[in-house]
Amino acid sequence: MDRLSYVIGVDSSTQSTKAALVDAASGRVLAVGRAAHVVTGRDGARESDPELWWQALVDAVTRALEGVDPRAVTGIAVAAQQHGLVVLDGTGHALRPALLWNDTRSAPQAAALTAELGPQGWLERTGSVPVASMTAAKWRWLRENEPRAAEAAAAVRLPHDFLTERLSGVAATDPGDASGTCWYNTATGAYDPFLLELLELDGSLLPDVAPGGAACAGRLTAAAAKELGLPEGIPVAAGTGDNMAAAVGLGLGRQGLLGHPVVSLGTSGTVFAATGTRPATAALAGFAATDGAGTYLPLGCTLNCTLAVDKVAGLLGLDREDAVPGGEAVLLPYLDGERTPDLPRAAGLLTGLRHATTPQQLLGAAYEGAAFTLLRALDALPGAVPEAPLRLIGGGARGRAWQATVRRLSGRAVVVPRTTELVALGAAALAAGAAAGEDPVAVATAWGAGEGEEYPPLERDRAARDRIAAVLDTHLSLGAP
């Protein structure tokens, strides 16, 4: 076993870190180490200490390596939650806890930025219109609310940048994660000087943009190697954001499946596809893919997905699989505000109750409301193949109620990939690409990571979709918060 060549892919998410030890030849996941994070905050605040991310990475990698000769590890890469704002002092340590993607305090700053340039101006430059989750809005919030921290910043990083720099000593990012900042221009493939000036952000504080996530950002430093128990000097890939890594893990891109859509069912929900079409619609985040080769990853993201539905199940005293179709009830489970549609101060909305409505139907209505929001964003994806099956990933993908709801509301077949740790596996493909000089999507495609069980389509429930759409559109037309 120890004669094999291994790579390590790290998934540093909102709640935890997972490190996958992967056979570089076959893509077989040999072990996964895990370590939890701490998220703090209330009233819209969501923060984490970046030092805890690093300690969790060390703990997760150490656990993944148990019983393995670490000398066989030939590369490592990090994929992490997008959009988080990390401000560092001159020693590389955080000046304050990181502002996370789901911190909604920056909603007023996002609205102000949008007004300053206009939605079309933002779309032409970044492919996205600022919302509370975007890093640019968080930087503006920091400048307005904690100006001393902003002025003291010696470096500004995204979560995966911070961890990659700890591994390699090199300040590097990639086109995919950089495209989620709203200060990277997806048309030019570089930071936008006009936007940096608008944001009062010195470009010298930012990491260099590598040509892609599989580019070798640097080599594992002696200090990091000692903490991790890995060989000093192995390649450290530039890495990427979690959504881009999941796309790589599924084999999405020019060297794999182009235009095949994905629905991710996690704490948040996302829909995306790797396409050759540069997106420019306010309904989506116009991300770049991590390969940096004119491939894009248009993405719709909702804040409320599995966690919100599980909360409704808990309130009703039901198991999450007890759901049945919602009947006349409509439940929009926007318990933490919402990103798509852009309703940062929204709360959950329930309507259409009857004497005959059952708790199981109310739970089904929560599933329907969450799934409908994602599927409406899916309809806006440019370059997506309409007849392709939906690949379901994330924690909810294996849930019977989630599968049935998505199939019924979409009328499409779904594929549930066999591999569960797709973000970590995508990061491992980036590490393998950096170590061998190969395209990471081609690597993941050869591994067969996106293959899985296919479920046939169900007849599309147009009545349910129309009912939910009418409630949501009325809510939006009345100037919902």
Contact 192, 126 (CB under 8 A): yes
Residue given tokens 């990181």 in the structure block: 98
Active site (catalytic) residues: 242
What pLDDT does residue 480 have? 58
pLDDT tens-digit series, residues 420-455: 899 999 999 999 999 999 999 999 999 998 889 999
**What is the DSSP annotation of 377-406?**
HHHT-TT--TTSPEEEESTTTT-HHHHHHH
Contact 363, 323 (CB under 8 A): yes
CA–CA distance, 286 with 65 (Å, rounded to integer): 37
Indicate if the pLDDT at residue 1 is higher than 50. Answer: no
Share of the chain above pLDDT 90, in %: 84
Q: How many CA atoms lie within 13 A of 256 on its CB side?
A: 28
CA–CA distance, 244 with 2 (Å, rounded to integer): 30
CA atoms 286, 292, 184, 118: torsion sign: negative
pLDDT tens-digit series, residues 10-34: 999 999 999 999 999 999 999 999 9
Q: Establish if 179 belongs to a structural domain.
A: yes
Q: Establish if 468 belongs to a structural domain.
A: no
Residue-range definition of the domain harbouring residue 229: 6-256
- Three-state DSSP at 423 gives helix
- Rounded to whole angstroms, the maximal C-alpha distance in the chain is 68
Q: Establish if 141 belongs to a structural domain.
A: yes
Please provide residue 216's backbone torsions phi and psi, each rounded to the nearest 5 degrees: -75, 110
pLDDT tens-digit series, residues 248-281: 999 998 888 889 999 999 888 999 999 998 888 8
Q: Establish if 189 belongs to a structural domain.
A: yes
Looking at mean pLDDT, say which of 1-5, 225-229, 283-287 comes out highest: 225-229
Q: What angle do CA 360, 362, 364 make, to 5 degrees?
A: 70
CA–CA distance, 214 with 176 (Å, rounded to integer): 11
Side chain identity at residue 428, one-letter code: A
CATH (domain of 172): 3.30.420.40
CA–CA distance, 308 with 266 (Å, rounded to integer): 10
Q: Establish if 406 belongs to a structural domain.
A: no
Q: How many domains does the chain have?
A: 1
Banded pLDDT at 401 (limits 50, 70, 90): very high
The token pair at 255 is 């060297």
Q: Establish if 316 belongs to a structural domain.
A: no
pLDDT tens-digit series, residues 67-78: 999 999 999 999
Residue given tokens 């019924």 in the structure block: 408
What pLDDT does residue 291 have? 82
Stretch 173-198: mean pLDDT = 96
- Three-state DSSP at 269 gives strand
CA–CA distance, 242 with 249 (Å, rounded to integer): 10
Decide: pTM greater than 0.85.
yes
Contact 396, 307 (CB under 8 A): no
Computed over every residue of the chain, the mean pLDDT equals 94
Expressed in angstroms, the distance from the first to the final Cα of the chain is 57
The token pair at 263 is 């629905």
pLDDT tens-digit series, residues 332-382: 999 988 888 888 888 999 999 999 999 999 999 999 999 999 999 998 888
Banded pLDDT at 96 (limits 50, 70, 90): very high
330-332 vs 235-237, strand pairing mode: unpaired
Total residues belonging to the chain: 481
The token pair at 298 is 């248009």
Q: Establish if 417 belongs to a structural domain.
A: no
Q: Establish if 271 belongs to a structural domain.
A: no
Banded pLDDT at 2 (limits 50, 70, 90): very low
What pLDDT does residue 280 have? 80
